[in-house]
A and B are shown apart, each in its own frame.
Chain A
Amino acid sequence: MRKEHWRALRRDQALYWLMLPGILFYIVFKYVPMYGVLISFQNYSIGKGIWGSEWVGFKHFIDFFTRTPDAWQLIRNTLLLNVYELLFAFPAPILLALLLNELRVVLFRRFIQTVSYLPHFLSTVVIVGMVVNFLSPSSGIVNHVLVMLGIEPIMFMAEPGWFRTIYVASEIWQTLGWGTILYLAAIAGVDPTLYEAARMDGANRFQQIRHITFVGMLPVVIILLVLNLGKMMEIGYQKIILLYNPTLYDTADVINTFVYRRGLINADFSFAAAVGLFQAVIGFVLVVAANKLARKTAHGSLW
């Protein structure tokens, strides 16, 4: 190391000390767990630790694909929930932002925004609590309304066929309003003279929405879309853990929930860590690919 480096280090000594707690945090809670991923290739036992546990190579990965009957179902459920989210939960805030932008009375617009932001602040437990109780076959309001309309009560929380709808619908309810923020910010950046020019050229309102407002927020749409594609292997599993029950596993059980059960409830650490690592590797490839795509299509990249 050169002399001026030493001098710089000594001069800023106090600054380095200041960073110490933060750096320790990153080492202990971020980097040590990365190292801990090694247990995926072991028969890890807490008593023996990483150094003492027996190495088994790719055994757990092979077991997952050959001996776990649910493996493909877990992957399928994870991907399908993501696809449904992409199809329904992703476009919803785009549409809402366009409609909000067309409201002429500012006060009314603010009111709608404030109301639609509200669910974002509720906890997952509260949301799932409402869903489960509203859908109760005996006392839930939804089934009371169905009966009133002459429809047989539905056992929503016992029929796998309903799970994806319930998951995605509650997701839309919670994220719709909040999701408009970035789009509205993009719309606010659109040059107002564009609208004037378009009106001069005889463009009607729908043409203005399509060719100016929508085009104005398109870069944000593309970036968020690509970002979402990169997260196809992730899902809000904390919500699923609250929402599902064993009768719904056919559609509700995803890789993360499986890792949680096998690892933390059955204490099968190595196997669960291996499944988690498999998911993380696919996820990483997707994120990198998504970033490449973003670099090509939009102006900015994701990092």
Chain B
Amino acid sequence: MKIKTSMASRVFDAFNVTLMLILAAVMLYPIVYVASASISNVGLVVNGTVKLWPRDLTFIAYERVFADPFIWLSYGNTIRYTVIQTAATLLVTSMMAYPLAKRRLLGRRTILLFAAATMLFNGGLIPTFLVVKQLGLIDTIWAVIVPTLINTWYLFIMRTFFEQLPEELEEAARIDGCGVMGTLLRIVMPLSKPVLMTIGLFTAVTQWNSFFDALIYLNQKELYPLQIHLRNIVIAGTAAAQSQGSAGDDEIMLLETVKYSTIMVAALPILCVYPFIQKYFVQGTMIGGIKG
């Protein structure tokens, strides 16, 4: 069969490979450009000399980023929010998913419907905001964690996974005197590492990248997550140097490369880990997709 690959077929292969290489270039170019611009002389970036590779290497843009106390503060906040949210989401979601995986549970269908209905109906932006406000959560870290604590998709995915676990193991644990919570923490959750990993990573990356809840719920600069700080520097253009009021022309110009170095600092953790966590995301997307 291979010998009979026709001319047209080979032309198509060549065309396809070329197209894919162009695609890879289009996907990578913006990121390579940001990386290059962040370590180039700002003058050469602004006048367009830097097109792909860095010119006139300098790390001054990074020095500026790291000298900004708010970048450290917001980085710390983001890490804190991400860790707390991921832990809380996994715990509360599995606490709800585990009983729902028991077929004998009275009212199981009702509770499932009660959760599923929220995927169809929701109060919308303003009523949700008012609830968060009236609970006094504005300007606390809970405002960016609690309102998104349970994702109904994750709840359903987890429940489906728990349903497949062998009942006997839990029985054994119960006979050994394990309570329900103990069984969940010591037997069920360790057996569910793949699904916890996938949901945990989804939650973590979503929280790491999110800005909107912080934009509407957090007004104090001390609570800003990285993405809000990034937005203020990169999109709104109010960098630390400006707010310090000591900015000369050179300093103002330097802001152009500081924007790129800030993007790099913010995106680097994700760029570094994503090739390794990719497969969990692909799995997760497929589980959600089959349901969807």
Contacts and interface: CB of A to CB of B under 8 A. Distances in A.
Interface in B190-217: 205, 208-212, 215-216
A182 B284 CA distance: 11
Contacts of B115: 26
Given A122-B267, A242-B235, A37 B127 contact: yes
A241 B12 CA distance: 42
B95 A116 contact: no
Contacts of A126: 230, 234, 263, 266-267
Given A15-B105, A118-B274, A241-B212, 17 more contacts: A19-B95, A22-B155, A25-B149, A25-B150, A28-B131, A29-B131, A30-B122, A99-B19, A102-B12, A112-B23, A121-B205, A123-B209, A123-B210, A125-B266, A126-B230, A139-B47, A144-B48
Given A96-B23, A124-B211, A182 B98 contact: no
Nearest to A174: B27
Interface string A176-205: 011001100100000000000001000011
22 contacts: A9-B106, A14-B179, A19-B95, A19-B100, A29-B128, A29-B147, A30-B122, A99-B20, A115-B28, A117-B281, A121-B270, A122-B209, A122-B267, A123-B209, A123-B267, A125-B209, A129-B230, A181-B282, A204-B8, A242-B235, A259-B125, A264-B125
Contacts of B8: 204-205
Contacts of B135: 28
Chief secondary structure at chain A's binding surface: helix
B51 to A, nearest CB: 7
Interface residues of A, number: 92
Contacts of A22: 92-93, 95-96, 150, 155
Interface string A262-291: 011000010011001100100010010000
Given A26-B118, A114-B275, A223-B292, A21 B24 contact: no
Contact of A133 (B19, B212, B260): B260
A141 interface: yes
B45 interface: yes
A185 B290 CA distance: 10
A264 B34 contact: no
B16 A99 contact: yes
Interface in A5-24: 5, 8-9, 12, 14-19, 21-23
Nearest to B132: A29
B48 A114 contact: no
Q: Which of B92, B126, B155, B230 has the most CB of A within 10 A?
A: B126
Given A15-B180, A276-B125, A21 B30 contact: no
Nearest to A102: B16
Contacts of B27: 115-116, 118-119, 173, 177
B contact patch SS: helix
Contacts of A227: 292
A51 to B, nearest CB: 13
B235 A111 contact: no
Contacts of A30: 118, 122-123
A34 interface: yes
A125 B125 contact: no
A31 B115 CA distance: 10
Contact of B95 (A21, A145, A241): A21
Interface string A93-115: 00010011011100010011011
Contacts of A14: 179-181
Contacts of A263: 125-126, 129
